[in-house]
Amino acid sequence: MSKYKIVVLPGDGIGPEIVDEALKVLKTLEGASNKLDFEFLQFECGGQYYLKTGRKEEWPPEVFDICKNEADAILLGAIGWTDPKTGKTVSYPSGKMVGLEILFGLRFGLDLYANIRPTKLYENVPHKISGEFRQIWDPKNVDFVTIRENTEGLYADTHGGLNRGGQIEVATDVRLITRKGAERVIKFAFDYCTRRNKGSPKDGKLRVTCVDKSNVTAGCKLFRSIYQEIAPKYPNIQEDYAFIDAFTQWIVRTPEWFDVCVVANMFGDIATDLAAVLQGSLGMAASGNVGDKHGMFEPIHGSAPKYTGKNVINPLATIFAASMMLDWLSMKNNDEPTLKSGADMIEKAIQLVLNEGKIRTYDLGGNSSTSQVGDAVSAKVKELARNM
């Protein structure tokens, strides 16, 4: 029996609702297996926690060390609270959003340099375009993974400004690209492509696309030149290039071309929200923030304040994130088969629920609640485990 300690950070807004469903599924899996043992350490945190406690802290101060020294993995819901009535985001006097210290504290502090963002369309998932639900992309054509650099670029702590007499006149965000940062994330993308071993839906070829703006920016020129140093070391993987602006239209027009894409921090942030449209909804898009030692898993969407407490948000992105967490834990523990089969089982259970088409949240054209989706996926996990 292997025991895994998971730090759970539900965070703000709908975070606790979706995390509850992911935990429900993980506990079902644990209950159905005689080899899995999870210990969940859950902590309140985020903008609402800051308001509630009045302690001027966004998470209990010991949590970072627990994440660093004790956790096998971290599962996070959503961070940041904007009051839906006033539109005001809980912020420090400096203007910095309360909660970023958690997200960036973990991404930077645990050196989670690769943000893995799969764009996969499951069967029987419609796309909502201009208010209509219809099938636009073929599920077999949408299955690529974006590896977003996660510790530098426009998110490096290089923000500054010029303030003469109480008013900010000039604000700067230096876009920092380093050799170390680029090298490790590009190598990660090639290794990820090798392990995934799927290739692009179009031709089955293993391919890593370098997505940048190297026709203009110095940082991207460095990023691309490092990609060109690394690519020849992976002769089985096809080299491929795209400028970020053109990339955004290619992923819509011909998603089937892409297998694994590697991209700098903020380009990846923006492109993967667009890519979520191909998956049917932001509510389907999960991510894993990983480094050499630690991993933190979360949906890519935010805390959706206006839906908070309504039990209507799609929990599948977070349930997928939990599945990614097990897959990563499996790899980290030398491809531990129980974890890998648990990850696969969750994915399969979700597809079975989608196939039946009865239980789905509003973003996918249904009217089921958040907890009904979690219940349905858990029931399928139980069924799959029984028939194993």
The alpha carbon dihedral of 104, 82, 319, 52 has a sign of positive
- Quick one: 252 or 274, whose CB is closer to ligand IPM? 274
- Quick one: 20 or 101, whose CB is closer to ligand IPM? 101
Binding mask 81-120 for ligand IPM (x = CB under 6 A): ----------------------x-----------------
DSSP assignment string, 245-278: HHHHHHHHH-GGG-SEEEE-HHHHHHHHHHHHHH
Nearest approach, Cβ of residue 152 and ligand IPM (Å): 13
Closest to 220 measured CA to CA, from 153, 275, 147: 153
Asked if residue 348 lies in contact with residue 119, where contact means CB atoms within 8 angstroms, the answer is no
Which of ligand IPM, Mg ion, none has residue 103 at its interface (CB below 5 to 8 Å by kind)?
A: ligand IPM
Binders of ligand IPM in range 296-335 (CB under 6 A) = 300, 302
Closest to 361 measured CA to CA, from 304, 306, 315, 321: 315
17, 20, 259, 269: which one contacts ligand IPM (CB under 6 A)?
Answer: 269
- Quick one: 152 or 269, whose CB is closer to ligand IPM? 269
Nearest approach, Cβ of residue 268 and ligand IPM (Å): 8
- Is residue 276 a contact point for ligand IPM (CB under 6 A)? no
By 3-state DSSP, what share of the chain in percent is helix, strand and coil, each rounded to 5? Answer: 45, 20, 35
Which of Mg ion, ligand IPM, none has residue 16 at its interface (CB below 5 to 8 Å by kind)?
A: none
Binding mask 253-272 for Mg ion (x = CB under 5 A): ----------------x---
Torsion angle defined by CA atoms of residues 337, 341, 342 and 343, in that order, rounded to the nearest 10 degrees: 110
Binders of Mg ion in range 300-329 (CB under 5 A) = none
Nearest approach, Cβ of residue 272 and Mg ion (Å): 7
The SS3 of residue 10 is: strand
Distances (CA, A) of 45 to 55, 91, 193: 12, 14, 35
Phi and psi, residue 240, nearest 5°: -155, 145
Q: Contact residues for ligand IPM (CB under 6 A)? A: 80, 103, 269, 300, 302
Q: Contact residues for Mg ion (CB under 5 A)? A: 269
